[in-house]
Amino acid sequence: MIIWQFTSMWNDFLFAVFLTGPTSWPTTVMLNNIAGAQATPYSQQMAAAILASIPTMLIYVLLGRFFMRGLMAGALKG
């Protein structure tokens, strides 16, 4: 449950855009704001996307066994 909650809060976009200000925007809103109006700096976007995905990847790597255990709990008879 913690993994799903963390991922949901980390990727929250609509709530952040409509109900918060620039001081509390999550990573997804910041990634969206990197795109320029006329020219898109793809190298900056890709670097920011990789940096933004590091916390989520760490959570899945460190807590992955619990994630799989939870997924398989209902699938196995025991």
pLDDT digits over 11-70, tens only? Answer: 676 776 777 777 877 777 777 777 766 777 888 888 888 988 888 888 888 888 887 787
User: For residue 52, what are its two tokens?
Assistant: 């933004």
Contact partners, residue 37, CB within 8 Å, separation at least 6: none
User: For residue 73, what are its two tokens?
Assistant: 């709990």
The model's pTM is 0.57
The enclosing H or E element of 66 equals: helix 42-73
